[in-house]
Structure 1
Amino acid sequence: MLGGNVEAVRGANFRILPGKVTALVGESGSGKSAISQAIMGILPTVAKVGGRVLFNDTAAGAKPVDLLSLETDGSEIQEIRGARISKIFQEPMTSLSPLHTIGNQISEVLKIHTDADKAERRARTEELLGYVGFGNPKRAYDMYPFELSGGMRQRAMIAMALICRPALLIADEPTTALDVTVQAQILQLLRELQSKLNMAMLLITHDLGVVANMADEVVVIYHGDIVEAGPVDAIFRNPQHPYLKGLMAAVPHFDMKPGERLKALREVPVKAGTLLGTQHVKKAAGPDVLVSVRNLCKTFSTRSSGWFGSGTTSRHRAVDDVSFDIRRGECLGLVGESGCGKTTVSKILMRAVTPDQGSVTFDDGEGAVDVLKLDGAELKALRSKIQMVFQDPVSSLSPRMTVKNILSEPLEIHGRGDPKSRVETVRSLLQAVGLDQRFINRYPHSFSGGQRQRIGIARALALVPQLLICDEPVSALDVSVQAQILNLLKDLQKELGLTMLFISHNLAVVDYMADRIAVMCSGRIVELAPREVLMRNPVHPYTKSLLAAVPYPDLDRKLDFDALQASGCSDQRQWGAQFSDGGEENALFPADLGGGHYVLARKSADARELRP
């Protein structure tokens, strides 16, 4: 195996001012994280670094020091790292120890850098946990990371980074994997803390909406080179470099005109006509509704640990009386926060999860079938007609299989063709999703995130399905790669006549992809409407809160943090009487507002009063 040097960063020059937020913007692999690791002194041992990183910690009365001149494991850098310079990592689940409580991990920083005793460390940790948004800090202190949601884990990471009141905070993609509402809360929290502590911040991100709402200065990096830098106002209102202009054009936004395409930095040539069975799918006749879902319910039971199976059991209603239709040839968007039941619904449609009650009817023109009652050969036949694109392209592709094996596996399972014809189909699939046929014998690890997601899409298309379920297919991707995948899916839908269920928590992405949108909260669909109606005239408070929490890459449309509900928009107490569940006598039901617009409200509420 040949090796060589990779120049991750070349001659990078920029500043981080005291009390200001500097955003470092670029795609994955551009060198953002390498710069942050160099500042912290945590680069891998094989890395060679030159230049200077001058840290001028005037607040602590220290002299300016070149961080690169210090020994990476010496006492001088250890006094700075964690105390005067702290970092919030991108993925809190992998950066927090699963074997220690949140409180232990945060107070450990105080133990290393201060002389505080155990009682004082606990008191200061609980105080900060309360400040970053934990409702019961004493209880949170003794909780483990797996007991917290993604947003709460990220808050714990923020508390750990801020416990020593650092002069510089490095936030590496702090909100990438979070819901839009949780993201807004984290951004508000970071802004408040940064202002209160007069702390400098290096915000590493590829989300231009976050940059517009947080940054004072912006540094744009491309393949290790800084291509543009300046005040946020100049960067957004008068971008100069073609790469920055391309990044801005690749972001989906709510002001896009009908038929307008995202401008991906690198377009993917789509040749869906090479796929076998294309003409069959486009000409397939059948009823207007392909999938009809009625009154789905699913409850999960969890038991707290105890000896020999003892302990208390709690039940969680993940899906609660969900009904909707997916029309032939349309893209239905399903949006909501993490834990609202979106993925559970998709697994029920795929027969990966069995519901407690309800029905799912599939009718592709060959007769309506009850999906939940199929078994054996009938179920196998149905699964060839419904396929899924998963959220994480890394974990959903086997690392031990080549691209040829991955893409031919569905054909082998369902007995399609002979070995020679399957290889030809695999080549056609690669061509259809814009991948070079020379990649056929490569393994997944040799591809980028966007390329792996295209392989996942190709695998889902191998059997030429009638319904494609996309579960957060772009949430883990850069803005530029995201534009590629979204355009690819739209092109494939148009050329193949696909019907799609598109699941996401990013409303701008769903706005670009969907014809109709269903909004889900706490296991229930609270609003369902055509895309343009829902985006312009949302009725339900939850939908309004979701839309209000989306950060725009526009300096004139900044987030109104004061208007966002601090308790989270899924809190029904904030909704108002007509939208809150008040028992059986005031049960919620879908009120028809006309034009295919439905909103969940009390039976006693007048649908006319619910209009915007």
Structure 2
Amino acid sequence: MTGQLLGTSTDLLRVEDVKVSFPLATGHVDALKGVGLRVLPGKITALVGESGSGKSVLGQTIMGLQPDYARVSGKVLLADPSAPSGTVELLGLPRDGRQIRAIRGSKIGMIFQEPMTSFSALHTIGNQITEALRIHEPVSAKEQRERAEDMLSLVGFTKPGKVFDMYPFELSGGMRQRAMIAMALICSPSLLIADEPTTALDVTIQAQILTLLRDLQQRMNMAILLITHDLGVVANVSDEVVVLYQGRIMESGPVEDIFRRPQHPYLKGLMAAIPHFGMAQGDRLRPLRDIKVDHDKLMTAIGNAKPMDTASRQHEAPEVLLSVRNLSKTYQTRDQAWAFRKPSAAPAPAVDGVSFDIRRGECLGLVGESGCGKTTVSKILMRAVTPDAGSVIYDDGSGPVDVLEAKGDDLQRLRTQIQMVFQDPVSSLSPRMTVGNILSEPLDIHRRGTPAQRRDTVDALLGAIGLGQSARHRYPHSFSGGQRQRIGIARALALAPGLIVCDEPVSALDVSVQAQILNLLKDLQKDLGLTYLFISHNLAVVDYMADRVAVMWAGRIVEIAPRETIMTAPVHPYTKALLAAVPYPDLERRLDFATFAGSSALTSVNWAAAFRAEASQMAPLDLGNGHFVLAHKSADMAELKS
């Protein structure tokens, strides 16, 4: 379908045979290879593809925001009744002239994936929203503020006047994205380009933003070009779909045809790579490009990494590998910490009485929204954060060790036995070290084996994660995101740990690369008997990986149960809200947008009385078969289950 244009004279936007290339020292790279698509008035067109497929390049080219050195050809036609011919050819306009600036923000708005880097940190939200009005519609300062506050109210802020005077860093990720939407829509554009607007957001906040975009699109009769790699989002909001791969359009058409009758192998492969609820225990994801794990090399690597006296110290291993009891951690705000008098309000705890066990060989999923305390718990387990209270006991069969009080030899052993895979593989790998040095560093620090054995272990780890020996001498920047995450996993495996804490290990990855990493983690768990604490806000991923699931809200675990119980018969209203917010890539299971029109699904306001009692009256109630829910101590069991 390269270069083919689907559309008629009624199209709001027509892209015809657009090609974009970037010159390199050794030649050039073709980002777009003759792309043609349409956006209809008042409709949502989704542009789907992996990272590097050219989605964002197309969005930038439509807006005239591509780099100066980019080579661009083709046509981008925007319907404009004020133009003599009824259309404007955007690529024919000077990139920084008065004509294209009159279109940006006024006729075409754009929201970006990461609003924090898109906002100026030095200006208030209101100042940045009204800037578009000052440029396109010169009105008085009073009217600018009134219109900006009206738009902030429209995108869901209950106190728009207060938000108008705030700075971007004072807002959460979801609030910043709402403010970005308000800035893009302040001049009522006929087309909104939304570049991955929900990728970095929690599932419940994502559902709110999707509901907001859908409502605004219908209310303002606005067209949206939605750039995303999430097929669940596409199925729930789009009217038409365009699938992009390596700069070429593989398939396009109405959303019904794309999901019910996909034709191209690439689209079918994308759908097969998505974890979905209800998968059988032995089912595997089918990534577009699978990783071949070298099991023999893997076992050699782990054998070399184990300390020599492990066998002599081993006694009968208990079922529970890690036992966490009553963890609490409170942070004071700067104002509270510097106050000379007693603070007027007690600081809210980040972690509040958290208790759970991780059994040997299992994967415990820990889910919840940003700010619920998931990462703080993981940092406490790694001794990166000291809790105010609580205990953490680790026993791998060599005797119980108090993680929080360990010193000397016990602490050194813990450092090898509990490892972590981080969310961002870019910032967690040193850019100044080669991959070989990154993987050998843990072995050097803990003096595992001879120098020759360490080299063999590094070679074996590289083979185990599907990278060749040439990767040893390369630096992290020369690898893709998925490859960097595999390097992070190999580093965590280098010391043959008993427990690996995975903190959002696939949230920054495309669906096909995500499938690679999840399958690799499952294979390693099976082959090595690894134990995982898997932290995520993606419930479909947790459903695929976890044996048991713990749900966290406001610093407390509100429900914990086997995976099947949590996913099919949740009891706590917050767990139900999380599951209801998941966008399925299935036209038969669309989001209930009415649920997320406000914030009632995310707060405790409308919960049953048993779930919102005073903290001193709450306790984890046993519902049987390993299912516990946080509720009032005197709550009726039968009533809770109903």
Q: For 1:37, what is the secondary structure of its paired residue?
A: helix
For 1:545 and 1:140, the matched residues in 2 are separated by 27
Instruction: Tell me: CA distance 1:122–1:431, structure 2 relative to 1, closer, same or farther (3 Å).
Output: same
Q: Distance in 2 between matches of 1:210 and 1:350?
A: 35
Question: Match for residue 152 of structure 2?
Answer: 129
Q: Which residue of 1 aligns with 2:581?
A: 549
Which is further off, 267-276 or 28-37? 267-276
Q: Counterpart of 1:315 in 2: which secondary structure?
A: coil
Relative distance call for 1:115 and 1:477 in structure 2 (3 A) is same
Give aligned-pair identity as a percent. Answer: 66
Q: Distance in 1 between matches of 2:263 and 2:184?
A: 35
Deviations 1:554-595 (A, max 9, x none): 0111000113472153411121101002353xx110010000
Question: Could you tell me which amino acid in structure 2 is paired with residue 22 of structure 1?
Answer: T
Residue 410 of structure 1: which of 442, 445, 449 is its match?
Answer: 442
Tell me the distance in 2 between the aligned counterparts of 1:240 and 1:59: 40
Deviations 1:526-581 (A, max 9, x none): 00000011111000000000000000000111000113472153411121101002
8 A contact 1:304–1:311 mirrored in 2: no
| Most deviating of 160-169 and 266-275 | 266-275
Residue ranges of structure 1 left out of the alignment (5+ in a row): none
Against the structure 1 CA distance between its residues 41 and 324, is the aligned structure 2 distance closer, same or farther, given a 3 Å change threshold? same
User: Which residue of the other structure, out of 365, 385, 409, is the alignment partner of 1:377?
Assistant: 409
1:262 corresponds to which of 277, 281, 285: 285
Correspondence list, 1:451-466, <5 A: 451-466=483-498
Larger deviation, residues 311-320 vs 362-371: 311-320
Q: Distance in 1 between matches of 2:595 and 2:63?
A: 36
Give the TM-score normalised by the residue count of structure 1: 0.97
Offset, 1:133: 1.2
d(CA) in 1 for partners of 2:563, 2:169:
36
CA distance in 2, matches of 1:376, 1:137: 55
The yes-or-no answer on 1:27 pairing with 2:46 is no
8 Å Cα contact 1:518-1:527 kept in structure 2: yes
Structure 1 residue 520, shift from structure 2 partner: 0.3
| Structure 1 residues 565 and 130: CA distance shift in structure 2, 3 A | closer
Candidates 363, 366, 372, aligned match of 2:395: 363
* 2:595/2:601 contact within 8 Å kept: no
Unaligned runs of 5+ in 2: 1-23
- Of 338, 342, 360 in structure 2, the residue corresponding to residue 328 of structure 1 is 360
CA shift at 1:271, angstroms?
2.0
Compared with structure 1, are the counterparts of its residues 19 and 291 closer, same or farther at alpha carbon in structure 2 (3 Å cutoff)?
same
Q: Secondary structure at the match of 1:353?
A: coil
Q: Deviation at 1:416?
A: 1.2
Provide the C-alpha distance between the structure 2 equivalents of 1:58 and 1:191, rounded to a whole number of angstroms: 25
> Which amino acid in the other structure matches residue 300 of structure 1?
Y
Shift of 1:151: 0.3
Classify 1:214/1:466 alpha carbon distance in 2 versus 1 (closer, same or farther; 3 Å): same
Q: 2:620 aligns with which of 578, 584, 590?
A: 590
Q: In structure 1, what is the equivalent of residue 19 of structure 2?
A: none
User: Aligned partners of 1:404 and 1:234: how far apart in 2?
Assistant: 48
Q: Find the counterpart in structure 1 of residue 4 from structure 2.
A: none
Q: Aligned residue for 2:351? A: 319
CA distance in 1: counterparts of 2:301 and 2:402, whole angstroms: 25
Measure the CA separation in 1 of the matches of 2:531 and 2:359.
Answer: 7
2:172 is matched with which residue? Answer: 149
Contact persistence 1:181–1:568 (CA under 8 A): no
Q: 1:180 aligns with which of 186, 203, 209?
A: 203
Q: Secondary structure at the match of 2:371?
A: coil
SS state at 1:28 partner: coil
Listed as ranges, the matches of 1:396-475 within 5 Å are 396-475=428-507
CA positional deviation for 1:258: 2.1
Q: 2:604 aligns with which of 572, 582, 592?
A: 572
The equivalent of 2:318 in structure 1 is: 287
Amino acid at match of 1:513: M
Q: Distance in 2 between matches of 1:527 and 1:307?
A: 36
Q: Distance in 2 between matches of 1:543 and 1:308?
A: 38
Aligned to 1:304: 335
CA distance in 2, matches of 1:598, 1:400: 47
Alignment-mate amino acid for residue 328 of structure 2: C
Distance 1:565 1:316 in 2: 27
What residue is the counterpart of 2:129 in the other structure? 106
Tell me the secondary structure at the aligned position of residue 552 of structure 1. coil
**Post-superposition shift, 1:408?**
0.8
Contact 1:303 1:311 in 2 (8 A): no
Q: Name the stretch that deviates more: 419-428 or 292-301.
A: 419-428
1:41 alignment partner in structure 2: 64
CA–CA distance in structure 1, aligned partners of residues 82 and 391 of structure 2: 64
Decide which of 208, 212, 229 is 2:252's aligned counterpart: 229
Any idea what the Cα deviations from partners look like across 1:439-487, whole Å, max 9, x if unmatched?
A: 1111111111100100111111110100000000000000000000000
Query: Which one of the candidate residues 591, 604, 608 is aligned to 1:559?
Result: 591
Q: Distance in 2 between matches of 1:31 and 1:577?
A: 51
Residue type matched to 1:244 in 2? L
Aligned: 1:388 with 2:411: no
Q: Is the Cα contact below 8 Å between 2:109 and 2:185 reproduced in 1?
A: yes
Counterpart Cα distance in 1 of 2:101 and 2:378? 48
CA–CA distance in structure 2, aligned partners of residues 463 and 130 of structure 1: 53
Taking the aligned partners of 1:82 and 1:447, their CA distance within structure 2 comes to 36
Deviation of 1:424 after TM superposition, in Å, equals 1.5
- Aligned partner of 1:191 in structure 2 is 214
Distance 2:137 2:341 in 1: 42
1:93-123 Cα offsets, whole Å, 9 max, x none, are 1111111111111111111111111111111
Deviation of 1:294 after TM superposition, in Å, equals: 0.5
CA shift, 1:89, in A, is 0.4
**Matched residue of 1:598: which SS?**
strand
Q: Which amino acid aligns with 1:550?
A: V
d(CA) in 2 for partners of 1:311 and 1:202? 52
Letter in 1 for 2:207: A
CA shift in 2, pair 1:153/1:60, >3 Å = farther
Q: Match of 2:38? A: 15
1:251–1:479 CA contact under 8 A, matched in 2: yes
> Residue 432 of structure 1: CA displacement?
1.0
1:65 to 83, 88, 96: 88
> 1:332-382: CA deviations, max 9, x gaps?
000000000000001111111111101101011111111111123321220
The aligned counterpart of 2:183 is 160
TM-score by length of 2: 0.92
